[in-house]
Chain A
């Protein structure tokens, strides 16, 4: 029995976890399921491609790949810029669309609107970049042995580590800073939060920024390891929601653990059962966990 699925599952888990943090935060703080979150992932990947191409033109000559990795320092800079851009995109979508519906207290309409926004954003990507997949690099990477018969490429290793650092960073932000405390407070009780002196509008803005930025990071990981295409985020949507619900809505560690659980379960399904069971397995795990812990693994008020 090959344990290689552990590597594939961990890599998938990192991308799902990054995206699920945004889903769980918007769900708990804004109280609606944003089905356009997948599009932030795709837009983040394309924004990174565009920013690194633009920076490449500015630099004027080809930059060599960083060490054993297939990307350059330009890619990393571009990813940081694109994270800001995608955060801004999420903020803009809120300003244009969700803010108005929120003021009317129509959460179900906001959810429907997010479906519409998802389609519009995806079509826009297809119009701008075509539906054809594209790549950060076509360089092939040799997988290296990790022991126990496991193999991983340098890209996979460094991206999982970077994703892990981002997740830890968000967790520390949520637990150690005033803004993070404010976000947790708003997610529990927005009215009491206002009474206690928290600027809820600001908390909502920061939530979109964080969700958008992490979705972009997720898109960059997928883009670097697989490919970039307009549907890349939409295809991740169900695993994202499964991970967020599995972990317990509102919990950042929950989204991360949920992400790795779903990623590993999917990889195991592909390895041992058959690729067609991939999606079903995520839901089997989700249902199994919810039967035992209805509020999710890290859910509040179990």
Chain B
């Protein structure tokens, strides 16, 4: 497998700066591109700005400079609530379901963004078929779901709009190894349907095993990029990435 030609990239971010305070950019010129049917893993040490980057792509952290393209559209400054309708879905890391609402209402909310009510209803039925656990819990408040079910609900919510690009922030966080592989199997199948996936992960090994390409972000900048397979075996990357980790861990002790 080779790097996708630029023409096939569906989501393109170029030299993006973003942060919570205009004077203090966290993402300092990061770039990524991802093609249909491809999984891009975004890796990097704690505090590298991975979450901030992906939130900027979702439109909920302001972008200072650079631009974001979805297909032919420049979406750099498009309001976040319009992005799911354009085919860009985002699953945040924490608080990614509405805990006080029922499972059904969580999915209906995503369906409400679609123009057609009957389409929304049939998509919801599809989700309940694809995630039987959710179907059994449909009347339950989402806050009462288990961690794994909650993650499934968050993914299902994002899929209701049939996104062309799906972005996820650490979907494996807090899940047991068994559930992690279940979530990743789902992502694999979603990729097979032609969706472009941006996967921010701490679980480097699992992410590299699943992804096609990977991007290592350090201090808000692209540090390393390449095929996931070769990165998994690359001692330099492992040292770069894990070394930073080891030092951070030592600093804590």
Chain B residues, Cβ within 8 Å of A200: 81
Contact status of A192 and B81, CB under 8 A, knowing A178-B108, A184-B98, A300-B100: no
Contact B108 A197 (CB under 8 A): no
Chain A residues, Cβ within 8 Å of B119: none
Contact status of A197 and B81, CB under 8 A, knowing A178-B108, A185-B109, A189-B95: yes
Q: Which residue in A188, A189, A194, A198 is a CB contact (below 8 Å) of B59? A: A194
Contact B58 A181 (CB under 8 A): no
Q: Which residue in A181, A191, A199 is a CB contact (below 8 Å) of B101? A: A181
Contact B101 A197 (CB under 8 A): no
Within residues 83 to 114 of chain B, which ones have a CB less than 8 A from any CB in chain A? 83-85, 90, 92, 95-101, 105, 108-110, 112-113
Contact B92 A196 (CB under 8 A): no
Contact B99 A188 (CB under 8 A): yes
Q: Distance in Å from the Cβ of A263 to the closest Cβ of chain B?
A: 27
A195 interface contact, C-beta 8 A: yes
Chain A residues, Cβ within 8 Å of B110: 196-197
Q: Distance in Å from the Cβ of A140 to the closest Cβ of chain B?
A: 48
Q: Distance in Å from the Cβ of A71 to the closest Cβ of chain B?
A: 39
Per-position 1/0 for B58-85, Cβ under 8 A of A:
1110000000000000000001111111
Q: Distance in Å from the Cβ of B140 to the closest Cβ of chain A?
A: 14
How big is the A interface, by class? Answer: 10 to 19
A182 interface contact, C-beta 8 A: yes
Please name 19 pairs of A and B residues whose Cβ atoms are closer than 8 Å in the assembled complex, sorted by A: A181-B108, A182-B112, A184-B98, A184-B100, A184-B101, A185-B98, A188-B101, A189-B95, A192-B92, A192-B97, A195-B60, A195-B84, A195-B90, A196-B109, A196-B113, A197-B110, A198-B81, A198-B112, A300-B100
Q: Distance in Å from the Cβ of A253 to the closest Cβ of chain B?
A: 13
Residue of A at shortest CB range from B84? A197
Chain A residues, Cβ within 8 Å of B161: 197
B50 interface contact, C-beta 8 A: no
B33 interface contact, C-beta 8 A: no
Which A-B residue pairs are the 8 nearest by beta carbons? A197-B113, A178-B112, A197-B84, A194-B80, A300-B100, A194-B81, A188-B100, A199-B81
Contact A192 B112 (CB under 8 A): no
Main secondary structure of the interface of A (DSSP, over half): helix
Chain B residues, Cβ within 8 Å of A199: 79, 81
B157 interface contact, C-beta 8 A: yes
Assembly CA distance A241 to B165 (angstroms): 45
Q: Distance in Å from the Cβ of B159 to the closest Cβ of chain A?
A: 12
Contact B95 A198 (CB under 8 A): no
Contact B157 A196 (CB under 8 A): yes
Contact A189 B98 (CB under 8 A): yes
Q: Which residue in B80, B101, B143 is a CB contact (below 8 Å) of A195? A: B80
Assembly CA distance A198 to B60 (angstroms): 13
Q: Distance in Å from the Cβ of B184 to the closest Cβ of chain A?
A: 22
Assembly CA distance A300 to B161 (angstroms): 29
Contact status of A181 and B60, CB under 8 A, knowing A188-B98, A188-B101: no
Chain B residues, Cβ within 8 Å of A188: 98-101
Q: Distance in Å from the Cβ of A220 to the closest Cβ of chain B?
A: 32
Assembly CA distance A178 to B112 (angstroms): 6
Assembly CA distance A195 to B166 (angstroms): 12
Contact A197 B112 (CB under 8 A): yes
Chain A residues, Cβ within 8 Å of B113: 196-198
Interface centre among A197, A199, A300, by most B CB within 10 Å?
Answer: A197
Assembly CA distance A182 to B90 (angstroms): 18
Assembly CA distance A233 to B83 (angstroms): 42
Contact B109 A182 (CB under 8 A): yes
Given pairs A181-B108, A182-B109, A301-B143, 20 additional interface contacts (CB within 8 A): A178-B108, A184-B100, A184-B101, A184-B105, A185-B98, A185-B101, A189-B98, A191-B92, A192-B98, A193-B109, A194-B80, A195-B60, A196-B84, A196-B109, A196-B110, A196-B157, A197-B81, A197-B83, A198-B109, A301-B100
Residue of A at shortest CB range from B85? A197
Chain B residues, Cβ within 8 Å of A185: 98, 101, 109
Assembly CA distance A184 to B142 (angstroms): 13
Assembly CA distance A199 to B81 (angstroms): 6
Contact B98 A195 (CB under 8 A): no
Assembly CA distance A182 to B98 (angstroms): 11
Within residues 166 to 193 of chain A, which ones have a CB less than 8 A from any CB in chain B? 178, 181-182, 184-185, 188-189, 191-193
Assembly CA distance A182 to B109 (angstroms): 7
Chain A residues, Cβ within 8 Å of B108: 178, 181
Assembly CA distance A218 to B9 (angstroms): 57
Chain A residues, Cβ within 8 Å of B143: 301
